[in-house]
Amino acid sequence: MDLDPRLSALRPLGGFFALHAPGPPPRRLAPLAEVYGPAVPEAGPDPLAFRVRKVEEALRAPETRIAVSVAHQGLAARLWSAALGCAVLYGRVPDLDPHLLHWDPDAAAPDDLWLTQVRPHSSDTSDTSDTSDEGAAAVLADAVLRAHLIPLAAALRARYRVAAGLLRGNTASALAGAARELDRWARAHGRPDAAARARSVTAALLGHPLLTGTGTLTGTAFRRRSCCLYYRVPGGGVCGDCCFPTPPGSASPSPPGSASPSP
């Protein structure tokens, strides 16, 4: 199934999967290529710093690095959701080049991401493309991991000095969460083929050298080996895939899945 110009197959999955496409955003928004670059004061407000402050205020986070982690995981989840949804439903991955994808740090899904042009990813354009689950995982690694999440993590580490392992764990957690939602939708709509492909492609991605060792996937359940720090938010508790069964220093357990770091 070819990619349609509006990526309309993503809409039934919910707003977290959808992209505005094609065409430019209604107002000037920075392409993600600029967001990942060095902050340039004369160019205007820094979108990453704006987003971190917005999350920090919304959560009443006692430490900036908590907001950095939550902001990172939220954008990672958006990117994984759109890309994985396309890989599963279309059998193709769009070109999500950071110069084509614009981000509004003040908006929530689906109004935060605008793709100015819909075209297949360069690794996924010919009749001889590898359509296996492993082939799809390789394309997704190029389209999301290398093009977006590596430079995003580098930018956040340079500005806020957050731990690399935390960001890798967030990346894996965001992927697993996107796959879990896609699997749930596919099962509810009589698409066992899509559910199986979502699980298989995700398992292949979690075996990628950039993600290996971040956690354990069992079916659609993921248990990460690092912590996103959400438990430090007042009343936050632990997330469903947290490495901690209870918040560190807590005398009573927090129910699994009682909290989510996604903004």
Q: Does residue 67 fall inside a structural domain?
A: yes
Interval 139-163 mean pLDDT: 97
Q: Specify if 245 maps to a domain.
A: no
- Find where tokens 């999500």 sit: 96
Task: Report the Cα 62 to chain-centroid distance in Å.
Answer: 24
List the structure tokens of 6. 């509006």
Q: How many domains does the chain have?
A: 1
Q: How far out from the chain centre does Cα 132 lie?
A: 22
Mean pLDDT score across all residues of the chain: 91
Maximum alpha-carbon separation in the chain = 58
**Confidence category of residue 234, pLDDT binned at 50, 70, 90:** very high
Q: Which residue segment(s) compose the domain that 42 sits in?
A: 8-232
Would you state the torsion angle of the CA atoms of residues 168, 173, 178, 179, taken in this order, to the nearest 10 degrees? 100
Question: Is 260 inside any structural domain?
Answer: no
What's the confidence (pLDDT) of residue 39?
Answer: 76
pTM comes to 0.92
Residue 251 maps to a domain? no
Q: What letter represents residue 45's amino acid?
A: P
State the Cα–Cα distance between residues 208 and 224, nearest whole angstrom.
15
- Residue 50 to residues 55, 124, 256, 257, Cα–Cα distance (Å): 9, 34, 31, 28
Residue 104 lies in a domain: yes
pLDDT tens digits along 167-213: 999 999 999 999 999 999 999 999 999 999 999 999 999 999 999 99
Question: What pLDDT sits at residue 38?
Answer: 86
In this structure, what DSSP letter does residue 28 have?
-
DSSP secondary structure letter of residue 2: P
- How far, in whole angstroms, is CA 48 from its chain's centroid? 15
Contact 118, 6 (CB under 8 A): yes
Question: Is the residue at 169 inside a domain?
Answer: yes
Token pair of 34 as six digits: 């600029």
Among 121, 162, 156, CA closest to 142: 121
Amino acid at 205: L
Q: How far is CA 148 from CA 35, 62, 113, in A?
A: 10, 28, 13
Q: What percent of the chain has pLDDT over 70?
A: 91
259 part of a folded domain: no
In a domain, 222, yes or no: yes
